[in-house]
Amino acid sequence: MNRPRPAVTPRRALRTRYTRLPVRALCTALLLAPLTAACGGSPSADSAHGDGKPPRGFPYTVTNCGVKTTFERPPERVVTMNQHVTEIMLALGLQDRMVGTAYLDDRILPKYAKQYGEVEVLAKKYPSKETLLAADPDFVYGGYDSAFDKSEGRERSALKESGVDSRLNLEGCTQDVDAGTLRKEIREVGRTFGVPGRAEALIEKQDAQLAASAKRLKGVHKPSVFVYDSGDSTAFTAGGEGIGNDIVRRAGGRNIFSDVHRTFADVSWEKVVQRKPEVVVIYDYGGTPVAEKKKRLLNDPALAEVPAIKHKRFAVLPLSSAVLGVRVPDAVDELARQLHPEA
């Protein structure tokens, strides 16, 4: 997914492994201790072998967004770019592997703030290729296509030539993204880093939360929803292929542009009027406050008879919650509370 407005958001438009400091080596040896341990993991799953053999579960081969990679052992020096993939790493207890991070849309989740504070921020937005490589990564994990911008020299093939493996979040290359895609993302990241047990524990917890939400919302009226990300001459909205569409559905709504085969897309305001949404869900991020977005919609005479505008029915969802990351189950609950407060 590569959204075309990079000034606002990234959604728009050395082959040898490096040696780590002793404290990192210690964490590697303890990779599969309990999830609450400082370095994490269960010793039986991926402990380093003194005889030079690969850790358990390796070599591991995965094809990610068309790029096939074989890992002989887990990456040890990782740079994450974009918030949702950073939070996936932190949720899996992998901050000890992170040598750098970049590009937040929002504040990091409070429960990961301490771990995030231990990681060097390389750039407010995307780092230059030189800054990126200066961190000596052996792996780069990007959330959007724009993380691997060819014009900036950060394309995946160029990183590979520098000995750096990479991964793109599956929402960047997958159609019909849903909770199953999130499971795959977490599972593959867990395997890549030798912590499959942590990944499965996180997936189980998320599935239980989503199931509980579905039970509470059973039988509710599903209002038609227009997702407003941004836009003046056209409306930039959530199409039917991204996790945002699945979040709306699971929260008990119907995305009026679910038939648009894109994750995000520009649509005409005429189509918004024609489809008569009952609720507008505003994505909150960047330099345009929610109040300003509401004002733009309420003051547009062409939208005056749209039910959501006429009755001032708005819901708000942080953009960081509407992409393929660990916030998805909470996003479903947060949106459901706004669409169906009675449930």
- Alpha-carbon gap, residue 154 to 138, rounded angstroms: 14
State the residue for tokens 């394309």: 155
When comparing pLDDT for 20 and 309, which is higher?
309
Mean predicted confidence (pLDDT) in 204-220: 97
- Helix, strand and coil percent figures for the chain, each rounded to 5: 40, 15, 45
| β-bridge mates for residue 237, sequence order | 265
pTM of this structure: 0.85
- Alpha-carbon gap, residue 237 to 227, rounded angstroms: 5
- Can you give the residue ranges of every domain in the chain? 22-208, 218-339
DSSP 230: B
DSSP for 248-296 reads HHHTT-EETTTTS-SSEEEE-HHHHHHH--SEEEEEE-TTS-HHHHHHH
- Alpha-carbon gap, residue 23 to 121, rounded angstroms: 20
- What is the tens place of the pLDDT at every residue in 247-261? 999 999 999 999 999
| CATH superfamily entry for domain 22-208 | Nitrogenase molybdenum iron protein domain (3.40.50.1980)
Predicted pLDDT at 10: 56
**Domain 218-339 part of CATH 3.90.550.10:** no
pLDDT higher than threshold 50 for residue 19: no
Predicted pLDDT at 4: 36
Predicted pLDDT at 16: 30
